[in-house]
């Protein structure tokens, strides 16, 4: 964290922040989408309606029989063009007479047409699809939905081997830019290339007062003192900003600010929840461990290992033992009506918290419910996260057994 690379990246990011915001404003303007299929144009709101409301209905109820892998009756519903082309009985949707569309008749169970055949859709879904058809089938431009085949048995596929997390790290070529004088670091070149591609120019550099305020708030969560501002304004040395960053990284407030984000991710709390909401008397030890780890610039892999298995990897180190307090942070029912269910809930809570932290920010139960589709398994099926968590259950014999220091 406290390397020259961090200082360079931090400096480049803070200096380019106004330009990045300008890019974001330009990119999110609500303009009509490019024409798709029969010259039809859709607004960003219509495409958001398709992606958020319509597509999940199609994926859950239609693509199994009318998707890329299967086309019962010659009909595929995985692109706008294939819907308009239709199947053996003709186009699924009529843009001229949307109320007479085969798709709408089928979901309303009219004229001996019943789709899906296993049961009529909820009325809310029928209304959503009806609105979609009457609006002319809004669809994300150039998109053909391809459903992923089930990767059962943990088989290693070409797709899984090509997943971004398993590719070798590569250094991209630094893009060429017109205003080369503006570029101080390679990061600047990437930012400027995007701006120039959109016909935008960088914002003026931040003045020194704004810069010292930004970086101090960012690294410590606190405003700079008047003395710190004066010292930075009077420092004319070429590395004044880098030395300011170093001072802030060395501040104990750095760990207090950034450790809070980790405590949020692991669901840190000083009470148990439920009706009694009893205290966790020694939770503060874990909190202080996190703050100290950030301030000590502890390597991330060591930080994770200590929390998951500190008592195994370094049992004579009090800090590593305190780190395993991670397992005690969640909800805890000290008098459960159904102890086996409470224990299962503990496993689920541990897995649901650990998986996004140790793997990646994916859906909540990627490990608890099934093998991750991108994780190769050597024994045919990846063991579930709940199995791995069985040795870390929270004790329920007494109200404060798990809280004894």
pLDDT of residue 250: 96
pTM over 0.85? The answer is no
CB atoms within 10 A of CB 264: 9
With CA atoms as reference, report the closest residue to 278 among 394, 148, 186: 394
Q: Inter-axis angle of helices 240-249 and 208-220, to 10 degrees?
A: 20
- C-alpha 318/C-alpha 338 separation (Å) is 34
Position 391 scores a pLDDT of: 54
For residue 74, the SS3 value is helix
Query: What one-character-per-residue DSSP string does 148-170 give?
Result: PPP-GGG---HHHHT-GGGSPP-
C-alpha to C-alpha distance for 342 and 344, rounded to whole angstroms:
5
Rounded distance between C-alpha atoms, residue 136 and residue 95, angstroms: 6
How confident is the model at residue 405, as a pLDDT? Answer: 41
**CA–CA dist 13, 249 (Å, integer):** 16
Let me know: does 223 contact 248? Beta carbons within 8 Å: no
In a 13 Å sphere around the CA of 395, the CA atoms on its Cβ side amount to 9
Alpha-carbon separation of residue 169 from 164, 165, 189, 248 (angstroms): 9, 9, 20, 30
Contacts by 45-54, CB closer than 8 A, 24 or more apart: 46/135, 46/138, 47/138, 47/139, 47/140, 47/141, 49/131, 49/132, 49/135, 49/138, 50/132, 50/138, 50/139, 50/140, 51/140, 53/128, 53/132, 54/128, 54/129, 54/132, 54/138
User: What burial class does residue 289 get, using C-beta atoms within 10 Å of its C-beta: 0-12 exposed, 13-18 middle, 19+ buried?
Assistant: buried
Nearest Cα residue to 287 out of 317, 314, 249, 325:
325
- Residue 190 confidence (pLDDT): 95
- Closest by CA to 354, choosing from 315, 402, 391, 304, is 304
Location of structure tokens 């590395």 = 239
Distance of CA 305 to the CA centre of its chain: 22
Give the burial string for 171-186 (b: 16+ CB within 10 Å, else e). eeeeeebeeeebbeee
CA distance 61 to 78: 12
Query: In this predicted structure, what is the pLDDT of residue 117?
Result: 81
Report yes or no: 331 and 273 within 8 Å, Cβ to Cβ. Answer: yes
**Helix/strand/coil for 36:** strand
Strand partners, 271: 279
pLDDT along the chain (405 residues), means of 10: 44 46 43 44 84 86 78 82 85 87 87 82 90 87 58 64 82 92 94 94 93 97 96 95 96 96 92 88 95 96 93 92 90 85 86 78 42 40 48 46 41
């Amino acid at each position: 964290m406290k390397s020259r690379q961090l200082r360079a990246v931090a400096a480049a990011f803070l200096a380019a922040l106004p330009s990045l915001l300008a890019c974001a404003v330009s990119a999110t303007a609500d303009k009509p989408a490019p024409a798709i299929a029969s010259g039809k144009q859709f607004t960003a709101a219509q495409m958001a309606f398709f992606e958020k409301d319509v597509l999940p209905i199609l994926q859950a109820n239609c693509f199994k029989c009318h998707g890329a892998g299967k086309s019962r009756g010659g009909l595929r519903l995985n692109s706008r063009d294939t819907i308009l082309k239709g199947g053996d009985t003709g186009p699924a949707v009529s843009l001229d007479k949307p109320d007479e569309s085969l798709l709408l008749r089928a979901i309303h169970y009219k004229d001996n047409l019943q789709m899906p055949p296993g049961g009529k859709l909820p009325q809310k879904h029928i209304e959503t699809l009806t609105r979609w058809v009457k609006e002319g089938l809004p669809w994300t431009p150039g998109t053909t939905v391809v459903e992923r085949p089930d990767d059962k048995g943990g088989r290693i596929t070409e797709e899984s081997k090509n997943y971004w997390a398993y590719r070798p790290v590569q250094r991209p070529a630094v893009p060429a830019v017109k205003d080369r004088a503006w570029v101080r670091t390679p990061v600047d070149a990437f930012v400027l290339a995007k701006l120039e591609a959109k016909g935008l120019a960088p914002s003026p550099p931040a003045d020194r007062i704004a810069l010292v305020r930004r970086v101090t708030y960012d690294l410590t969560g606190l405003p700079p003192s008047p003395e710190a501002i004066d010292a930075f304004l009077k420092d004319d040395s070429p590395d004044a900003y880098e030395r300011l960053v170093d001072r802030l990284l060395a501040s104990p407030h750095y760990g207090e600010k950034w450790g809070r984000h980790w405590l949020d991710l692991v669901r840190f709390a000083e009470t148990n929840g439920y009706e009694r909401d009893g205290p966790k008397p020694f939770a503060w030890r874990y909190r202080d461990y996190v703050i100290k780890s950030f301030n000590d610039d502890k390597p991330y892999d060591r930080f994770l290992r200590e929390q998951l298995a500190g008592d195994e990897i370094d049992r004579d180190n009090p800090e590593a033992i305190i780190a395993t307090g991670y397992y005690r942070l969640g909800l805890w029912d000290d008098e459960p009506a159904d102890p086996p269910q409470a224990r299962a809930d503990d496993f689920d809570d541990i897995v649901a918290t650990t998986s996004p932290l140790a793997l990646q920010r994916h859906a909540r139960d990627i490990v608890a419910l099934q093998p991750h589709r991108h994780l190769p398994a050597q024994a045919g099926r990846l063991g579930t996260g709940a199995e791995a968590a069985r040795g870390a259950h929270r004790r329920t014999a007494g109200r404060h057994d798990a809280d004894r220091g």
